[in-house]
Structure 1
Amino acid sequence: LPMTRGQIFHKCVELSIHLNPGRTAFELVDEAFARLIDRNDGLADFLTSISDIERAEIRSEVSSLLQTFFETFPPLRRAWAPTTELPRKVLLHGGKIVLQGRFDLTIGRPDDLTAGRVLVELKTGRAVPHHLDDLRFYALLETLVVGVPPSLLASFYVDAGRVQIEAVDEDLLASSLKRTSNSLIRLMELRLKRTQPERRPSAACRWCPEAADCKNGQQWLSEAEGVGVW
């Protein structure tokens, strides 16, 4: 349900930018539901399979989040050139390696070789460390595709109305490049069976498809629940 709520919320933000005249939070949620159900994908199947009460609960939660967003995030002016769900893809070694991502929200644009775009991730849950790593990877993607890095990275936590900002510089891009390179090397070693995969329990166990049969993962989840770790 948290992922579903997040996807619907992001669709609402997208519609709020491009629909004219504007809509209320409840109207945007209705529009988002209709568009997402029409896609005939996994999310659409889920939304049509749940009960009316469950759908109503999701609508209520997303409407509340959206209203909080409108009250705490600056109005997105057209002069800022806001875009939503902006895709970026980098193909390496003839397409054998693909680096890709999709930015929740961007504001501004580069001016020739001067950085001017801000990458914003809209988060409907709690802050976790990998959110920063994701944004730094997006900064690397933007630089490789456009040739100009973004000026700022921002994680906006909707329910708290709080923003976490990080400026983009050479050190950040170099660190992201090193992390990405190390990850690619690790993946290739696993694919070529030059190293063995390790089970490392973490918060990712909450949505891991192997969690039900993983002793280490179940133990971590049990301990995390006991101390209130997200």
Structure 2
Amino acid sequence: MLSRVAVLSDVHGVLPAVEAVLAEPDVAAADLIVLTGDITCGPQSARVMDRFLGLGDRVAWIRGNADRELVEFRRGSRVSIPDPIGESAAEGLREEHVDFLEGLPTSLILEVDGLGRVLFCHATPRSDEEVVLVDSDPARWAEVLAEVDPQVTTVVCGHTHMPFTRLAAGLLVVNPGSVGMPYGRSGAHWALLGPGVGLRRTPMDVAAAMASVVADSTFEQVGEWADYFLNARATEDDAWAVLAPRDGRDTAG
């Protein structure tokens, strides 16, 4: 049984955001750090990998869709990556990074104090890329959670970069938001589990973070990328306009 678990999702290769969260006392004191996917697809992919690998058994890893796409690109099973920064991120990884990401699980179940059996995944328990939102229809939630082990009480997911908690299909669902590519509000978003659920936000020096990212990346548009994402210029309304049609809702209604 774990007393405290820090959940970091959607890091997207932004080392200054990682360092800011790791410096949080509650993260330093946590029994375990769980990464719920999309760890590497960003400007500092290798440095972020090395930072987390250096923490050894303090970190549990889950592969997200963007991590999978980087692996597929490096293995030659895809010729492009949907995210424009993806190819640069993939090329920045060393071969041992690619091997490590390829072997990661897509979900993990842990016992957490006060919460019971917690299932960690990237997007949903059955897919690394389908979309569910805080206001998705109950029937949609019931569909994506239908095959969850009956002993599970809580599901922690990421993928949509916006933090929330809600009850769905009898389960507590937690999305910690994004560490490296937040929508709606700047800062590194994460969650602390046990005995309850805390959604956290760590402010950081955005100008310094942008300088670090630009200095490290070979991506030609890295300056624009850093300005857009580290300043969270995508509002929650912008994100909803893109994501809501992908959760199966009737947008005409």
In the superposition, the TM-score normalised over structure 2's length comes to: 0.28
In the superposition, the TM-score normalised over structure 1's length comes to: 0.30
> Which structure features the higher share of helix residues?
1
